[in-house]
Every structure is written in C-alpha cells, then in structure tokens.
Amino acid sequence: AQKVTQAQTEISVVEKEDVTLDCVYETRDTTYYLFWYKQPPSGELVFLIRRNSFDEQNEISGRYSWNFQKSTSSFNFTITASQVVDSAVYFCALSEANNAGNMLTFGGGTRLMVKP
C-alpha cells in the first residue's frame, strides 16, 4: 500500500525567509510518480511539479526547488525568499505507475503562513 507523510502540519515564517516542506513516501512499486500541489485559501489545488522515480535530479523553478532522494524516500520542497502570496496548504502526493486509475495518495498537507 502506498502512503505519504508530511510531518509538518503548520509552518510560520517571516517574508524573505527560506522554508523547506518535508515529504516522505512509502510504496512497493519501483516505478511511481511524485507530485506537489498548492491549495490557496480559494480551495483549488494547483499543480506545481511531477517527478518520476527514475529521475533523481533536483529541480529549480524560480524561487521553488525540489530535492528527490530515493535512498530516504523523500521529496522535499524548498521556497527561497518566501512571499506572503506563498501562504497556502501544500500537499505532496504519490501515484504508482501501474495504477490504472491514476489514483493519487495525498499526504496530510503542510499549512505555510508567511508573515510580512
């Protein structure tokens, strides 16, 4: 069975601080996909990134970066120089490749509050 754990339920930072959101996953499959979604107060989940299990290269997109480490089953997300607009709930999710329905298993989410 697949499982995603986001141990940090809430993080509060001051604007311009860097912040890392942790994600640890469990799966028995060798091929799988990891995702991060952002849920702002409006409620709509917004896709941020997808990585497959064979690509461990770190990725950077503007102020966002992701660190995927299979050895520790982690897929952490760092926001550099945080801004108030980054305040949201962030979800990590897992999908196994042989999962015909592409059912995503989500973690419990991390609420990020960025204060001015």
For other proteins, the binding residues (CB under 8 A) are 4, 6, 9, 31-33, 35, 37, 42-47, 50, 52, 91, 93, 95-109
Find the shortest distance in angstroms from Cβ 16 to other proteins.
28
Dist. CA 113–CA 36, nearest whole Å: 17
Residue 108 beta carbon to other proteins: minimum distance, rounded to whole angstroms: 5
The Cβ of residue 73 has, within 10 Å, a number of other Cβ atoms equal to: 17
Nearer to other proteins, 61 or 98 (CB): 98
Q: Which tokens in the block code for residue 116?
A: 């001015």
Work out the angle at residue 55's Cα, subtended by the Cα atoms of residues 87 and 82, and round it to the nearest 5 degrees: 20
Name the residue nearer to other proteins (CB basis): 5 or 80: 5
